[in-house]
Structure 1
Amino acid sequence: MLAEDPRTTAVLNSDIRDTTKIFESSAVRRLLRDDQPVGALFVSVLDCIPDDDDPWELVCRVCQQLPSGSYLVISQLASDDLELCRRITGFMQEITDNSWGRVRSIGEVNRFFEGLDVLEAPEPVEVSRWLPDSDLAPRQRSKEWIEYGGVARIG
């Protein structure tokens, strides 16, 4: 469905960590122009990338390739309860044959936004609370771990 308008969308079957291959693809080159901002969405994907693959560097490489004025969207499982992080990460690694990343602390997720202009809040937030349309929207009830994220403008 996303590929229906090739003027605005590209769908690639690539490893997200191979940014060189992604940005050299004709589909992506066709969409990027120096004077037209775009959005890079890392929604519920960075927690799937192990620390050994340096997800912070991955985000940095993507930001460096985007035109000025583009936006970065990030959300990822996060908790400051280190024991809970360890348990959830262990479970996910067990069911994915150790190929999953991990739940990160709030501070570790905030590192993704370093040097960028974060929108609407002084820092990212639990995503169901970011710019809610109304008080009727469902909110995450658990505070032990959350889907945490935000939006930043790339200078």
Structure 2
Amino acid sequence: MDTIEALEDGTILCFDCGGDMQPAHFGEMSCQLAYSHGCRGMLLAGNCRDTQYVLKMPDFPLFSFGTRPNAFGGWIITEVNKPIYLPGHLTHYVKVMPGDFIFGDNDGVQLIPKDLVDEVLLRVEAIFEKENEEREKIAAGMSIDEVYGTYGVL
């Protein structure tokens, strides 16, 4: 938690728990403490407990492998602010570097390497504008053939 106090507000905590699925690595009180010091979410390649309370926390999404009721398992933090590898969707493992941009929602998590954030955000804004236009046309009754002819895919 000393490290958390020193981090920028808005930090997303990322933990590689080394495949240890025995304990709950974090719970509500740990998440509350991290939140009170500016953290705004967590990627946890391990387990969480007290999830009914963590899920009610505002502005603190938590993505974990699962839940466990026990907090005891003998785990310790061995390294901080080092590159880690977390299971991915497009590749088996995704390298997470300190400073990378992380966005998560109900569909999952996206990682953008810190050196590509500006470029990716500009592309996302352009896609968002195009999709908003498409939404308006669909809501106004544009035919299916016109939608696919104009926009390609949904």
- Which gives a bigger RCO, structure 1 or 2 (Cα 8 Å, sep 6+)? 1
In terms of Rg, which structure is larger? 2
Give the TM-score of the pair, scaled to structure 1. 0.29
Q: Tell me the TM-score normalised to structure 2 length.
A: 0.29
